[in-house]
Amino acid sequence: MPDLEPPGPLPKRQFASDNYAGVCPAAWAAMERANAGHAVGYGDDAWTKRACDLIRNVFEIDCQVFFTFNGTAANALVLASLCRSYHSVICHRHAHVEVDECGAPEFFSNGTKVLVVEGEAGKVDCEAVTRCAKRRSDIHYPKPKVLSLTQATELGTVYDTSELDAVSETARRLGLRVHMDGARFANAVASLGVSPKEVTWKAGVDVLCFGGTKNGMAVGDAVVFFDNDLAAEFDYRCKQAGQLASKMRFLAAPWVGMLEDDVWLNNARHANAMAELLEAELRKLPDDVGVEVTTPRQANAVFARIPSVIDSAMRGERGWCYYDFYGPAGARLMCAWDTTERDVTDFVRDLRQVAGVAGS
């Protein structure tokens, strides 16, 4: 018998990323059901058909759906398919496609350049987009072709319907296609309480990379083309990039488990609610502790500046993990589908203790 014990003590739940969480029961159960017997490979199976149909139901439109192993591939291949090598993609300075994909969009597009703009709280500023697109119109400048938005943003904020209408109107005026990086699309929809179509194709989004992993699946993001013409030959692009799953049913089945009975939205609502609780608890800390929430919390992330002495004790002796890669935004505390109220209160209790708050 192989040793199936985990290597070392079970780590506690952390606030580092929603991808620290495991697979949610609905996704797991669907994988298990998909494991019964044989099925055709490469996506010609009933699970894949069902998952695509459910995604079409979610968006209430006849869209084209593809599955990739992760979000980086989804984003990079979509941008490559929307652009020629001499084009450019405009996105926010903190966008995942710019800072967290190791140049995959540029690589898969054979040179399409990513151009960055500023904007409050992780959202692109329409005037900055216009300036960037119009900076030059000569042959020496990489021709702007796509505006890429992240929903929910890298700073945990959410574009509401009217903000999306405004940015996509800006894009349309500039002749840009709109790509949405929806690694946390579920959290955005849960936060806004709108139907998914209101914040996608009705708001001018041409292609959505619909994240499944951070919402409770093991692996697999969906690419959703709302303009069917743009999806032409995307299947070849996936195959060439090593993103066509041979046993596709195992990428598709979790989507069936997540989309039936709105598990995807319930997972996201839960993660958002835990972040809301965490934010409320941090705001209750006495002012002299010096913890400051820096960005409006709208989805499942809380950003807070934590004084360095407290920060080192939290990460060191108390064993908490979290990131702080967005500089002035401070520590990023990310909640997941399985974060519990207890996790939140444990974290805040440790924080109060290391800060020496009386009575903690």
In angstroms, rounded to a whole number, what is the distance separating the alpha carbons of residues 267 and 278?
A: 17
Of 45, 98, 106, 154, the one binding ligand PLP (CB under 6 A) is 154
According to DSSP, the residues that pair with 302 across neighbouring strands are 333
Least Å from the CB of residue 148 to ligand PLP: 10
Q: Looking at this protein, which amino acid is placed at residue 343? A: D
Q: Does 72 bind ligand PLP (CB under 6 A)?
A: yes
- Within 36-55, which residues bind ligand PLP (CB under 6 A)? none
Least Å from the CB of residue 276 to ligand PLP: 19
Q: Which residue is nearest to ligand PLP (CB)?
A: 71
- Are residues 355 and 310 in contact, defined by beta-carbon separation less than 8 angstroms? yes
Least Å from the CB of residue 222 to ligand PLP: 12
Q: Which range of residues in 65-73, 117-125, 227-235, 307-315 is near ligand PLP by CB under 6 A? A: 65-73
Report angle CA 353, 287, 347 to the nearest 5 degrees.
Answer: 35
Q: Which of 144, 226, 134 is nearest to 180 (CA)?
A: 226
Q: Which range of residues in 69-77, 126-134, 159-167, 335-343 is near ligand PLP by CB under 6 A? A: 69-77
Judged by CB under 6 A, the number of residues near ligand PLP is: 10
Q: Which range of residues in 64-72, 121-129, 319-327, 339-347 is near ligand PLP by CB under 6 A? A: 64-72
Q: Does 13 bind ligand PLP (CB under 6 A)?
A: no
Q: Looking at this protein, which amino acid is placed at residue 99? A: V
- What residues have CB less than 8 Å from 10, skipping those under 6 apart? none
Q: Does 202 bind ligand PLP (CB under 6 A)?
A: no
In angstroms, rounded to a whole number, what is the distance separating the alpha carbons of residues 215 and 212?
A: 5
Least Å from the CB of residue 101 to ligand PLP: 7
Q: Does 150 bind ligand PLP (CB under 6 A)?
A: yes
Least Å from the CB of residue 147 to ligand PLP: 15
Least Å from the CB of residue 14 to ligand PLP: 15
Q: Which range of residues in 43-51, 67-75, 195-203, 352-360 is near ligand PLP by CB under 6 A? A: 67-75
Q: Does 216 bind ligand PLP (CB under 6 A)?
A: no
According to DSSP, the residues that pair with 357 across neighbouring strands are none
Least Å from the CB of residue 97 to ligand PLP: 7
**How is the chain split among helix, strand and coil, in percent rounded to 5?**
45, 15, 40
Q: Does 70 bind ligand PLP (CB under 6 A)?
A: yes
Least Å from the CB of residue 139 to ligand PLP: 32
What SS3 string covers 216-258? CCCCCEEEEECCHHHHCCHHHHHHHCCCCCCCCHHHHHHHHHH
Of 43, 71, 204, 254, the one binding ligand PLP (CB under 6 A) is 71
- Within 74-103, which residues bind ligand PLP (CB under 6 A)? 96
Q: Does 155 bind ligand PLP (CB under 6 A)?
A: no
- Are residues 282 and 330 in contact, defined by beta-carbon separation less than 8 angstroms? no
Least Å from the CB of residue 122 to ligand PLP: 10
Q: Does 157 bind ligand PLP (CB under 6 A)?
A: no
Q: Where are the alpha helices (DSSP H) in the chain?
A: 25-34, 46-59, 71-82, 96-99, 104-108, 126-134, 161-173, 185-192, 234-240, 249-259, 263-283, 308-315, 341-355
Of 183, 259, 265, 306, the one binding ligand PLP (CB under 6 A) is 183
In angstroms, rounded to a whole number, what is the distance separating the alpha carbons of residues 197 and 184?
A: 16
Helix, strand or coil for residue 278?
Answer: helix
Residues that bind ligand PLP in the complex, under the rule CB under 6 A: 70-72, 96, 150, 154, 181, 183, 213-214
